[in-house]
Structure 1
Amino acid sequence: MSTFGTLLSPAESLREQVESQLASRIISGEIPAGQVLTVPTLASDFGVSATPVREAMLNLARRGFLRPIRNRGFEVTEVSPDELRELSEVRMLLEAPPMAVVAGTLDEPTVAELRTIADRIVAAARTAKFDEYLAADTEFHLRILACTGNSKLVETVRELRQQTRLVGLVQLASTDALVSTSLEHAELVDLLVADRGEDAVALMRRHITHVGGVWSGQGED
C-alpha cells in the first residue's frame, strides 16, 4: 500500500483525518476486502503516532469496515451483494421522496451552494480523488435533505452512508461512468429549481441505484 502522506487539516483531529482517509479508500475499493492493516505501518505511512491510528481503526471496526485479528492487526471486511442491496433500498426510501418536498423551495444562496458542491464532485471524479469525491458527495446529499427541515432524516441518512461501500468506484475512474454519474448532481439541482418534483424523485432513485449496481462492481440492477 502506498504512503498516505502528511495530514495537515487543522479543522479535524488526527484521528478524524486518519479515519476519513482510510474510510474513503475502503469504501471506494482502493483498499480491498481481505487486506490486513497494521497500526505501526499506517502510523508510519501517515507520519503520526500510533494512538490516532488505533482510535481510527477501532472506529472503523465499529462501523463494520474492519475486523480485529489477534496479534495481526485489522482485516478489511467483505460486503455482500445482499447487504449493498438492502442499504441502497433503505436509502431509496429515505432520500428519493423528499425531492418532491424540496422542489421549488430552494433559495438562491442554497442553489449556489449546491452548484458549487456539485462542481467539486465532478472535479474530484475527473481526477480520481476518491476522498474528496466521497466527502463532497455526502455533503451534497445531506445539504439537500437538510432543506426538508428534518434533522432526524439527515442524521439517519448520514449513518447509512457511513455503512455503504462503493467498491466499484476505483474501476469506474478508468471509464466515463464516474464523471457521468457525477453530472447527475447538477441535473438534480436544475430539476429542483424548476419545481419538477416527480422528475427529481426519479433521478434520485436512478442515482441511488448506482450504489447497489454499477458502483458495487455487481453490474446494473
Structure 2
Amino acid sequence: MKQGVQGSAGTRAARVPAQQRPAGAEAPVRSRDAVVPGTVRGEHTHGEHPHDEHPHGERPVPGPRAAVRRSSVRGQILDALRTALVTGELRPGEVYSAPALGERFGVSATPVREAMQQLTLEGAVEVVPNRGFRVVRRGARELAELAEVRALIEVPVILRLARTVPAERWAALRPLAEETVRAAACGCPATYGEADRAFHRALLALAGNEQLVRIAEDLHRRSQWPPVRAGRPGRAGLVADAAEHLALLDALSAGDCEVVRGLVAGHFAGAG
C-alpha cells in the first residue's frame, strides 16, 4: 500500500498580519489537508500557493472548507483501503489497527477509523475490540451466494431492457465495455474492478431505478473481495469477463433475448 502525504502545521504563522512580518518576508504557505491514494510520503502533492486556489483573492470560509477537507480525506482513505482489499494487500484474516494504517497513509487514525466503519457496513472487515479491524475471510460458498443474489436482481432487469431499449442506447455503452477490456489487459484487479462496476452501473441505470443501481453496486463490490475468484484466477479471468461485456452488448443491440439470458447467466456464474 502506498503512503500519502502528511499535512504540515504552521497555521499560526499564516495568520500574522503582513505589517508585523519583517520586510521582504513572504507569508508562509499553508498546505492542504488532503491525502492522495497512490502517493508516497514525501511527495509534494499539495504545495500550491494559496492564490492558485483563489485566483480572485477570495478568502476561504473556515467552517465549510474544513468540513470538505475532512470528508475528502475520509473518502480518499476509503478508496485506498478498498483498492488494498481488491489487490490483496490487506489480507483476509489479518487484523489492522487504525493508528498503524494512519501512519502508513500519513494521516491521523480518525479518517482511517471512519473508513473502516464503512467497510464494516459493507461486510469487508469486522471490528476486533481493542485491536482494530479484521479483514473478513470469504469462502467459495459466500461468493456463490453473492453471485446468486446479483443474478436474481440483475438478470430480469437486463432481459427487460433487452426488449425495450433501442440499439443506439446500447452503442453508447460500448466505450465503457472497451475500457474493461483495456483494464483487464493490465491485469490489475483494482483497475479492472472500477471499470467493471462502471459498466454494470451504466447498464442498470437504463432501468431508471436508483435504488436498484445502489444495491446492485454494493453486491458487486462485495463480490470482488477476495481478489481471486474461484475458477477464474488472475489476468485470464479478467480478460474473460471483459470479453463477455462486449458479447453482451452485441446481443442486446440485436435484441436477442435468448443469447442475452445465456451470457448474463454465465457472467454471474463466473462472478464477473
Q: Normalising by structure 2, what TM-score? A: 0.67
The counterpart of 2:111, out of the listed 15, 39, 52, is: 52
Quote the Cα distance in structure 2 between the aligned partners of 1:103 and 1:64.
32
Q: What is the alpha-carbon distance in structure 1 between the residues aligned to residue 264 and residue 181 of structure 2?
A: 17
Partner of 1:185: 245
Q: Which runs of 5+ in 2 are unaligned?
A: 6-34, 38-67
Using the alignment, how far apart are the partners of 1:189 and 1:103 within structure 2?
10
Checking the alignment, whether the CA contact within 8 Å between 2:193 and 2:224 is kept in structure 1 is no
Counterparts of 2:73 and 2:157 in 1: how far apart (Å)? 35
Q: 1:197 to 1:96 in 2, by over 3 A?
A: same
Q: 1:84 and 1:180 mapped to 2: Cα distance?
A: 18
2:122 counterpart (63, 84, 90): 63
Cα offset, 1:33, TM superposition: 1.0
CA contact (8 A) 1:66 1:74 kept: yes
How far apart are the structure 1 equivalents of 2:215 and 2:227? 24
Superposed CA RMSD = 2.8
**Unaligned ranges ≥5, structure 1:** 216-221
State the one-letter code of the partner of 2:267: H
Q: Summarize deviations over 1:124-160 as a string: whole Å, max 9, x none.
A: 2222333222122112112111112233322221232
Counterpart of 1:196, as a letter, is D
Q: Which has the higher helix share?
A: 1
- d(CA) in 2 for partners of 1:182, 1:32: 26
Aligned to 2:93: 34
**Corresponding letter in the other structure for 2:233:** L
Aligned residues of 2:86 and 2:189 also touching (Cα < 8 A)? no
* Closer/same/farther in 2, CA of residues 42 and 93 from structure 1, 3 Å limit: same
Structure 1 residues 206 and 169: alpha-carbon distance in aligned structure 2, compared to 1, 3 A threshold: same
Q: Identify the residue that residue 3 of structure 1 maps to in structure 2.
A: 2
Distance 1:204-1:25 versus aligned 2 partners, 3 A rule: farther
**How far 1:199 moved relative to its partner?**
0.9
Task: Give the whole-Å Cα distance in 2 for the aligned partners of 1:32 and 1:159.
Answer: 20
Deviations 1:93-134 (A, max 9, x none): 11112222222614636623x222222222222223332221
- Give identity over the alignment, percent: 35
Q: Where do 4+ consecutive residues of structure 1 move more than 3 Å?
A: 4-10, 27-30, 106-110
**Distance in 1 (alpha carbons) for counterparts of 2:121 and 2:152:** 25
Which position in structure 2 is the counterpart of 1:133? Answer: 192
CA contact (8 A) 2:102 2:112 kept: yes
1:122 alignment partner, one of 163, 169, 181: 181
Deviation at 1:28, TM superposition (A): 5.0
Structure 1 residue 88 corresponds to structure 2 residue 147: yes
Taking structure 1 as the reference length, what is the TM-score of the superposition? Answer: 0.81
Partner of 2:183, secondary structure, is helix
| Distance (whole Å) between structure 2 residues aligned to residue 123 and residue 92 of structure 1 | 25
Over 3 Å counting, the alpha-carbon distance change for 1:92 and 1:109 in structure 2 is closer
